[in-house]
Structure 1
Amino acid sequence: MTPDHGPLLYEGKAKRVFSSDQANMVFVEFKNDTTAFNSLKRAELENKGRLNCQISACLFELLEKEGVPTHYQALAAENWMMVELVEVIPLEVVLRNVAAGSLCKQTPIAEGTVLSPALFDLYFKDDNLGDPLLTEDRLERMGLVTVEQRRHIEKLARRVNTVLTSFLERLDLTLVDFKLELGFNQAGALVVADEISPDTCRLWDMRITDPQDRILDKDRFRKDLGGVVEAYGEIHKRVQEACSKPRNYN
């Protein structure tokens, strides 16, 4: 079922955004498209959009219950949600609890190294530039956020990390790292936007020791491990069992 939406406002790699008849609210459709390496690798995986939408809805509601503001309003269909319109900051906010991925390629830190406290990184969101890592001085020179906003971004991201890490551990899942998109709503408040799913989080199954079999996130696609949708389905199953049913748009 497709909600009664207005014109297409924006289309990204994994989602489409449509206008709605409610002020400052938009509909987001989660697509089955899957990309990696700045879209150099592409595929369409049946059911992926629905799984990411449902997982994100549960995790957004979890965050809100813990006092973390998000743009999420309600599920509008199996792979659609209604969200508050926000001005997204062009930064990828990354929290790393365990070394993996690009961190291990760019530094001598071995994969699997526990990072305590979690490593906080900011990247400039621009595919043409390869989403470069920003130093504090570069961030200041670019003028993307003020010093106070930068502090608020880190505080909010670390709060998200605390909530998600604790919740996922109870599901026998290690939150290795994750990226967030943040934005300002119409009232000027900083909120968590976009999605929180296996597309944006590295998740390892604590019940499995094999370093490849334990992967339950988009690394299965990046590394050609297969079973991507099955892995997302396992995350969906555990999250759904632990969360109350997400609220629906009427």
Structure 2
Amino acid sequence: MTSVKEFRVERAATADELGRGAFAFTDDYSVFDWGKMPDEIPDKGASLCTMGAFNFELLEREGVPTHYEGVSTPDSDGAAVSLDDALDSGAAPREMTIELTQVPDLPFAGDDAGDPSGYDYAAYHEEADENYLVPLEIVFRNRVGVGSSLRSRTDPADHGLDFAEWPDEVVELDDPIVEFSTKYEEQDRYLDRDEADRIAGVASVDDLAAVATAVNRLVTERADEAGLTHQDGKIECLYYEGEIRVADVVGTFDENRFAYDGQQVSKEVIRQYHKRTQPEWVEAVSAAKREADERGVADWKALCDREPEPLDDRVIAAARDLYCAGTNAYVGRDAFDAPSLDAAVDAVRDL
């Protein structure tokens, strides 16, 4: 199980064959890598499932391979159906049927791992063979925000940008920047191409970047049609029989950042709200991660001396409406009973 969706295996993958299973999307949310937070956001799971299914079907129509097989509803009796069929039945889906690949354990062995990270990627790939989930997240950016970590990690020239240093304002990019970060380490970290290529196994980082670029283009175009601005996002991929397929979920308000009329329409709203209202907890999380790095241990949460506080009811209601109104706009259907996107955006501006 992940922090926001449950994972069901119907037929396990083998070294030679993909399996079959499902994601069941919950109303949980996670920020700052914490995992399940104290609250739930009503209809959030159905929102992510609906938007993810819409994007997978868009990718498949455009020739981008994915692990998606359809969604299921109470009326479909467990059978995988298209998103339109599910919405026509009167309810936004919460379950997505997917092909499964192998996901071996990634051991943390510290100095004995034979890897500077302390993680034994050689063991991961030895068990994975050539049917596996690539242990990377492929990140794409259409802009460099004022607070982007990219500014502290790189120089503009590293990306072919004609600035001596990062300007104070947001940088809108003509061509997206693609980066790689770790997937299964306790703390995500960005990688250079050589390390990403090694961690990816037999999957090519050039091919992974090409798939991410195609996904970014299609999601950006769809967002433009819906009146949204697509700022950045990420994908995960599986490798099977020499082919890279988009896995997990793609182009949702949790995986990607969108904006409408200058206002965030994504999980970033809740993230920034915690920064403003629970700064002590946010700093405790950062301090625990730093201490874990210094000690060379994986479990940073065990070092954190604070817990997050629940959200106010009005914040939960505003977040719910933002997810649902944004999904309605993106998929072009009234999948949810929600206010207009303008009204939902106005509500979160006042948080």
Q: TM-score range by the shorter chain?
A: 0.7 to 0.9
Deviation at 1:41, TM superposition (A): 7.5
Match of 1:80 among 91, 95, 105: 95
Match of 2:5 among 15, 27, 30: 15
Which residue does the alignment assign to 1:62?
58
| Conserved? CA contact 2:26–2:44, under 8 Å | yes
Is the counterpart of residue 171 in structure 1 residue 226 in structure 2?
Answer: yes
| Conserved? CA contact 2:258–2:264, under 8 Å | yes
- Map 1:157-236 onto structure 2 (within 5 A): 157-185=212-240, 187-196=241-250, 197-205=252-260, 208-209=261-262, 214-224=263-273, 226=315, 227-236=318-327
Aligned-partner SS, 1:232 = helix
Which residue does the alignment assign to 1:32?
27
Please give the per-residue CA displacement for 1:60-96, whole angstroms capped at 9, x wherever unaligned.
1011111111111011132101011132111011000
* Segments of 4+ moved more than 6 angstroms: none
| Conserved? CA contact 1:26–1:82, under 8 Å | yes
Letter in 2 for 1:221: I
Which residue does the alignment assign to 1:247?
none
User: Which stretch shows the higher mean deviation, 164-173 or 106-115?
Assistant: 106-115
Which residue does the alignment assign to 1:6?
none
Deviation at 1:189, TM superposition (A): 2.0
Is the counterpart of residue 114 in structure 1 residue 161 in structure 2?
Answer: no
Please give the per-residue CA displacement for 1:210-237, whole angstroms capped at 9, x wherever unaligned.
xxxx111000110118422222112211
Deviation at 1:201, TM superposition (A): 0.5
Q: Which has the higher contact order (CA 8 A, sep 6+)?
A: 1
Please report the TM-score for the alignment, with normalisation by the length of structure 2.
0.59
Please report the TM-score for the alignment, with normalisation by the length of structure 1.
0.81
Please give the per-residue CA displacement for 1:133-184, whole angstroms capped at 9, x wherever unaligned.
00123234x44334x7111101111111111111111111111000111112
Please give the per-residue CA displacement for 1:30-54, whole angstroms capped at 9, x wherever unaligned.
1111011111782321211111001
Match of 1:145 among 201, 210, 215: 201
Is the counterpart of residue 97 in structure 1 residue 142 in structure 2?
Answer: yes
Given the superposition, is the C-alpha separation of residues 110 and 60 from structure 1 closer, same or farther in structure 2, using an over 3 Å criterion? farther
User: Which stretch shows the higher mean deviation, 107-116 or 154-163?
Assistant: 107-116
Count of residues in Structure 1 that have an aligned counterpart in Structure 2:
224
| Conserved? CA contact 1:64–1:70, under 8 Å | yes
Provide the C-alpha distance between the structure 2 equivalents of 1:41 and 1:32, rounded to a whole number of angstroms: 10
Letter in 2 for 1:65: R
Given the superposition, is the C-alpha separation of residues 104 and 220 from structure 1 closer, same or farther in structure 2, using an over 3 Å criterion? farther
Letter in 2 for 1:192: V
Given the superposition, is the C-alpha separation of residues 116 and 135 from structure 1 closer, same or farther in structure 2, using an over 3 Å criterion? same
Deviation at 1:104, TM superposition (A): 4.8
Match of 1:132 among 152, 173, 189: 189
| Conserved? CA contact 2:181–2:190, under 8 Å | yes
Structure number with bigger Rg: 2
Given the superposition, is the C-alpha separation of residues 99 and 242 from structure 1 closer, same or farther in structure 2, using an over 3 Å criterion? farther
Which residue does the alignment assign to 1:47?
43
- Percent identity over the alignment is 26
| Conserved? CA contact 2:136–2:196, under 8 Å | no
Given the superposition, is the C-alpha separation of residues 110 and 200 from structure 1 closer, same or farther in structure 2, using an over 3 Å criterion? farther
Q: Give structure 1 stretches of 5+ with no counterpart.
A: 1-10, 244-250
Q: Give structure 2 stretches of 5+ with no counterpart.
A: 13-17, 74-92, 102-131, 155-165, 275-314, 335-351
Higher helix proportion (structure 1 or 2): 2
RMSD value over aligned CA atoms? 2.5
Please give the per-residue CA displacement for 1:109-145, whole angstroms capped at 9, x wherever unaligned.
54631122101010011342x21100123234x4433
Given the superposition, is the C-alpha separation of residues 105 and 44 from structure 1 closer, same or farther in structure 2, using an over 3 Å criterion? farther
